[in-house]
Amino acid sequence: MSDPLLLIGGFLGASVRIATPLLLAATGETVTERSGVINLGLEGMMLAGALAATLGASAVGPWTGLALAVLAGMVLAAVFAAIAIVARADQIIAGTAMTLAAVGLTGTIYREAYGTGGAGLSLPTLAPVAIPGLSRVPLLGPALFVQPVPTYLALLAIPAAWWFFFRTRAGLMLRATGEGAAEARAAGVRTQTVRALATLVGGAFAGLGGATLVLAQVGTFAEGMTAGRGYVAIAIVVLGRWHPLGVAVAALLFGAATALQFVFQAIGLAVPYQLFLMLPYLLTLLALGGAVGRVRAPADLGKG
Amino acid sequence: MLFGVLLLAAGLQLAGYDAVAALGALWRGAFGSWYAFSSATLVRAIPLIIIGLGITLAFRGGALNIGAEGQFYAGAIAATWVGLHVAGRPAAVALPAVLAAAVLAGAAWVVVPVWLQLRYGVLEVISTLLLNFVAGSLVSLMVQGPLQESQHIYPQSDPIAVAARLPVVPGTRLHAGLVLALVAAAGLWYVFARTLWGFRLRAVGAGPRAAAISGQIDARRMTAVALLGSGALAGLAGGIEVSGVSYALFQNLSPGYGFTGIAVALLARLQPLGVVATGLLFGALEAGAGAMQREAGVPAVAVYVVEAVVIVVVLLADSASRQRMARAVV
Amino acid sequence: MRGIVKRFGSVQALRGADFALEAGKLHALLGENGAGKTTLMHVAFGLVRPDAGEIAIAGAPRVVGSPRVARRLGIGMVHQHFTSVPALTVAENVALAAGWPVAPAALSSRVRAVAERFGLPLDPDARAGGLSVALKQRLEIVKALASEARILLLDEPTAVLAPGEADELLRVVRAFTEAGGAAVLITHKLDEALGTADRVTVLRQGSVVFTGPVAGQTAASLAAAMVGDEGARGGVREASPVGPAADAPVVVRLDELEVPRESGYGIAVRRATFSIQAGEIVGVAGVEGNGQRELLRAVAGRLQPLRGRRDVAGPVAFIPEDRTTEGLIPSLTLTENLVLGSRPDEPWIRRGRVDWKVARARTASLLHEFGVSASGPDAPAATLSGGNQQKVVLARELARQPRVVVAENPTRGLDLRATEAIHGRLRDAAVNGAAVLVYSSDLDEVLALAGRLLVASRGSISEVPAGATRARIGELMVTGGR
C-alpha cells in the first residue's frame, strides 16, 4: 500500500495532466460560444490536431508537431466557419459533419502514412518540465508545476481568456456578438468577422488539445483516440458557465474523474475498466442536469 | 452525392491511389452481383433506413437526436439478452419478444436526454451524444462480463436462439428486416402526410412558438414523443442487426450507422419515402467501401468523408433556399 | 440630402426625396406608416444605401456607407427597436457604441457623468435588458450622445412611452438642439410636430410633399399633406366605436386573476377583475411591459394564471403580436397554416386524419373572402407580405365565428390600407356578437377601436372612466390610478 500523500499527489498530477487537452479545447470553445457559435466539430478538430502532431513529431520534432496541430485545427475551423457562419447553415449539423469528415480524413491519412503497423511508440514526446522553486511546494508543487509545457499553456490561457473577455474592447465586441448579434451590428460590430475569428481560435485550441493528447499523454496515435473528448469539452463549457475560471474547474473535475481509475488500481480495487470509461460522460450528464437549470447561455448561441 | 463521389475520386488520385480502380471496386462491391446487392448493399441499407427514419422523426419534431448510435447498441444489447433466454419458445413468440425488447431499450436509452430536456432544458444534442460513448462502453462491459460466450475466451456473446432469428432469403444474407424497414417507412410517411398528429409534429419542428400559441399544441411534449420514437426506431435497428445478421453481440457491431443515418435522413430532405432511397445509396457506399479496401487498398473510413460532404452540400442548399425565400417576400 | 431614391424589391420606398437639416433646429419628419420616413433616415445613418442621390454634411459631400461611418461623422440614431444588448450592462452598451475603453471603474463613472450632463440619469451597472421601456430609450440616447453625435435622428421615440414620459423626452431633445445640436424627429403624430419642432417635412409615398417652418401650419394642413386629398383626417381616427346591446350576455369574466410572467419569474398581472359582453370591443392601453401581454394571453387561454377565475364562453381566437414567429409558420403552406389549431370537429378532420383536399378548398375560399393576395393555398406563408400574412392569421382565427377575440398589436408594421382592413374585421366580429379584447401600443389606435378602455400599469388593470382626457389616460398608464 503506497504512501497516501504520494498517492494523492500522484492523483492530482494525473488529474491535471489528463485535464489539459480538455481544458485547452474547452477554453477555445468558450471563446467560440461566447460569440454565439456552437462548434460540434471540436471533436474532429482535436482528432485532426492529434494526427497532425503525430506527423509533425515523427517528421521533425514535438514542437513542429504542436505547430502543425494548431494549423490543422484552424484549417478545419475555417471550413466549419465557411459553412456555418458565412453560408449560415445549421451549426449543429455542420459541426457533426465536420467531425465525421475529420474521422474519415484522419483515418485515411493515418493508414496512408503508417500502414497497418501504426505509428508505434517511437514518437518524440514532450516530457514534463519542472518549474524551479514552485515545484517544491508540498503536494501542489509536483501536481501543478511538474507538467509538460502544454499544461502550462493551458493554465496561462485561463487568466488570459478572462482578461480578454472582460477587460478588452475586442472581448466586449465578442460578448456583444454572442448576446445580441443584431444589436451588436447596430453598434457597428462586424459580427460575422468576429464569429469567424472566434471559431478559428477555438479550432486552434482544439488542435493544441489533440496534440497534447498525443505528445504529452498517450505517446502515439490511434484512430478515434479522442473518444468524445471534444464533446466533453463542450459540456465543460456549459458547466463552467462560459466563464474561464468555471471552465477550468470543470475541466479539472473531469481530469480527476478519469484519474480515479489509477487510484483504484493503486489501492487494489478490481473494478471493470469500462466503468471508468463511462464515468466522465455520466458525470457530464449529471452535472448538466444539475447546472443548466439556473444557467444562462449566450443569448444568441446557435443562431445564424 | 455526385459531388461527394467526385471529391473522393479526386482525393484518392491525389493520394496516389488508382481512382478508377477504387471506384470500380466500390461499384462492384455494391451492385456487381446479385449477391453483392442483396447481401452487402441491402443488408447494410436496412439499419440505415430504420435509423434514418428515426432521425427524420426526431428532426421533424424539432429534436436533434445525435445519439442513434448509442440507442442502436442499447437495442442490440436487449435483443441479445432476450435472444439468449428464449431458447425453448416458438419463433412466433421469440422473434417479436426480441424485437420488442430492442424497441423498448432504444426508447429507454433516450429517456434520460428527454427528461433532462423537459426538466432542465439541456440540449438534447449533447445528452444524446454523450450516451453514445456510454453505450459503447456498456457493450464492452457486457461482452466481457454477463453476456460473454460460454467459453469466456472472446469478447462476444453466444449466438442467440434460432427461434429468435429473422428469416433469411435462401442463398443470401438478406433477412426479413427489409420488410420491417419498408413498413416503417410507409408508416412514417402516412403519419406525416395524412394524420393530424403527424401534421402537428411537423408544425412543432417548423415553428415551435407558433405551434404552441396558435396551434395550441404542447410543443415540448410532442418533441419529447418524437425523440422517444426516434430512439425506439434506432433500438429496433440494433435488434434487427442482431436478429438478422450477426446473431450475437460484439463490439463495433455498428460501423457508425448512427452517424451515417444523419446523412441518410438529411439527404432525403427528411422525407420518409426518400429515406428508403438514400438508405439504399449509403448502404451501397458502405458495401462498396469494403470491396474498395480489399481490392484497391483504400481505407474504408474514407467513405466518411463522402458522407460528410453529402451533409454539407445538403446544408448549403437548404441554407441558400431559405435565404432566397426570405428575400422573395413582397 | 438630395434626390434620394430607394427601392426594396417591388416597393418604391423613396422617389427622389430632398431633406435639409440645420444646426440648432428640431426638424420633424412626418408621414404615415410606409411613407418612407424611416428609410430616409436609415439612408442618412448608413444602414441603407440609396439607389441614387447624394448626401452632404456641413457642405461637404459624403458617402455614408455604414453606421460606423455615420458615427464618425457625428450622426447618431435612436431606433424604434432598442439596439442595446440586453445581457450586457448599461455601461458596457455605452462603451460598445461609443468606442470607449472597458476598464470597469473608470467606465462606470464616465457613463454616469455623460448621462447626468444631458439630464438623463442612468445606473451604469444595471443590466440593459431589465430596464423599463423609458429607461431603455434613455440608454439609446445616451449611447448616441456618448458617441459625440452632433446630429440626432430619432425614429418614433415616443411610440412606446406614456404621455408624461414622452413630454420628458421631447424636452431633452429640445435642450440638445438649443445647445447647438441638430435633431430629426420621425413621427406620425401631428401634435408632436406642431408642439416641439422648428421645421417640418412631410413625406407621402416616398416623395416630399411639403417642407418648411412649423409656424403657420395647423393640424389640418399637415394632415392634408400627409394623406393627400382623400379627405383630411388626423391620422388613424375612424368611425365611432361599436357598443354592445345593453342586455348582451357576458362572455368573458375575470375575477382576481393573477398571471405570472412568461419567463416564469415574477407576477405580470395582479388581481385583474373585469368582464366583457358580447358585441363589445374593450381596449387595453399601457406602455409595453406592464402586463398587458400576459393579460391578453391569459384571457386567450395561452398562458396559465396562478390564481383567480377566468370564465370564457367557448374557445378564444388569438391574434398574437409577432406574426412570423407566433402567428404563422413561414415555411409551411397557407393551407397548413390554416389547419393549425384545428379542432376535432372541423370538416377536414376525420378521426385523426387530415383531408387535405377539403382543407385546400376551404383555404382558397378564405383567401378570397379576406382579400388575401397570394399565389394560392399552397404558397408558403413566408412569401406573403406582412399585411397579407396578418390577414391570413385573422382568417384562421375569425373564420370559426369565435365568441371571443383577443388581438395583440394587430396592425403593427402594416400600412394604412391593411390597418383599415384589420380594424374592419375586428369591428365586424363585434357586430356579429363576439367579445373583442384589443391591445395596441399606439394609444390612438386603441381609442379609435374601443368602446371601453382598460389601463395596464405595473400589473394592475383598471378601467378608465368614460370621457377621460388623453392626459388623464397617460397619467393612469404611469401611475395606475394610485
| Residue A249 covered by a domain | yes
Residues of B with Cβ-Cβ distance to C352 under 8 angstroms = 195-197
Which residue from A233, A194, A235, A229 is spatially nearest to A214, judged by alpha carbons? Answer: A229
Q: Does the residue A300 lie in any domain?
A: no
Domains located in chain B, CATH noted: 2-329 (1.10.3470)
In angstroms, the CA C426 to CA C431 distance is 9
The pTM of this model reads 0.81
CB pairs under 8 A between A and C: 59
- Contact call for A277 and B133, based on CB within 8 A: yes
Q: Is residue A191 one of the residues assigned to a domain?
A: yes
Give the nearest partner residue to A180 out of C66, C71, C86, using CB atoms: C86
C-alpha cell at A13: 498530477
Residue-wise pLDDT for C359-413, tens only, equals 999 999 999 988 888 888 998 888 888 888 999 999 999 988 899 999 999 988 7
How far apart (Å, rounded) are the C-alpha atoms in residues B84 and B94?
A: 10
**pLDDT at C323 (0 to 100):** 86
State the pairing for strand pair C316-319/C404-408. parallel
% of chain B with per-residue pLDDT over 70: 90
The predicted-structure confidence for B37-72, as pLDDT tens digits, reads as follows 778 889 999 999 999 999 999 999 999 898 999 999
What letter would DSSP give residue A83?
I
Q: Bridge-partner residues for C426, per DSSP? A: none
**Amino acid sitting at position A251:** A
Q: What is the CATH number of the domain that holds A142?
A: 1.10.3470
| 3-class secondary-structure state, position B123 | coil
Count CB atoms within 10 A of the CB of residue C247: 7
User: CA–CA separation, B146 vs B75, rounded Å?
Assistant: 16
| Residue A297: inside a domain | no
A163 lies in a domain? yes
Set of cell numbers at residue B227: 425523440
pLDDT at B8: 65
Percent of chain A beyond pLDDT 90? 39
Q: Which domain holds residue A54?
A: 4-115+123-292
The tens place of each residue's pLDDT in chain C, 482 residues long, gives: 877 888 776 667 788 888 888 888 899 988 876 678 888 888 888 888 888 888 888 888 888 888 888 888 888 888 877 888 888 999 999 998 888 888 888 888 888 888 888 778 888 888 888 888 788 888 988 888 888 888 999 988 887 777 778 888 888 888 888 888 899 999 877 788 888 888 998 888 788 888 888 888 887 787 777 766 544 333 343 445 566 777 788 888 888 888 888 776 788 888 889 899 888 899 998 877 788 889 999 999 888 888 899 989 888 999 998 888 888 998 899 999 999 878 777 888 888 888 899 999 999 999 998 888 888 899 888 888 888 899 999 999 998 889 999 999 998 878 777 888 899 999 999 988 899 999 988 788 888 888 889 998 888 888 888 777 777 777 777 776 54
Query: Chains that contact B by 3+ CB pairs under 8 Å?
Result: A, C
d(C-alpha A70, C-alpha A200), whole Å: 10
Nearest CA in chain C to B329: C383
Buried b (16+ CB within 10 A) or exposed e, B257-290: bbbbbbbbbbbbebbbebbbbbbbbbbbbbbbbb
Cα of A118 to nearest chain C Cα, Å: 50
Q: How many helices (H) and strands (E) does chain A have?
A: 12, 2
Instruction: Mark out chain A residues that contact chain C at CB-CB < 8 A.
Output: 166-169, 171-173, 175-176, 179-180, 182-184, 186-189, 296, 298-299
Which are the contacts of C230, defined by CB distance < 8 A and separation ≥ 6? none
Q: Which regions of chain A does DSSP assign to beta strands (E)?
A: 129-130, 146-147
Best residue in B13, B119, B120 for a mutation probing chain A (most A CBs within 10 Å): B120
| Single-letter amino acid code for the residue at C192 | E
Query: How many structural domains compose chain A?
Result: 1
C-alpha distances in Å from residue A16, one per residue of A246, B161, C12: 15, 49, 64
Closest CA to A102 of B311, C414, B294: B311
At A193, which amino acid appears?
Answer: T
- b/e for C200-209, b at 16 or more Cβ within 10 A? bbbbbbbebb
Could you tell me if residue A88 is inside a domain? yes
C212 three-class SS:
strand
Residue A164 inside a domain? The answer is: yes
∠ CA(C46), CA(C51), CA(C57), 5° rounding? 45
Length of chain A: 304
Contacts of residue B330 in chain C, CB cutoff 8 Å?
9-11, 383-385, 388
- A298 falls within a domain: no
Nearest to C328 among B199, B202, B210 (CB): B210
Amino acid identity of A132? P
Instruction: Examine the pLDDT at B328 and tell me if it is beyond 70.
Output: no
ipTM for the whole complex: 0.81
Give the pLDDT score at A125: 77
Mean pLDDT of B238-251: 91
Query: Which of A166, A168, A176 has its CB closest to that of C96?
Result: A176
Contact A179 C84 (CB under 8 A): no
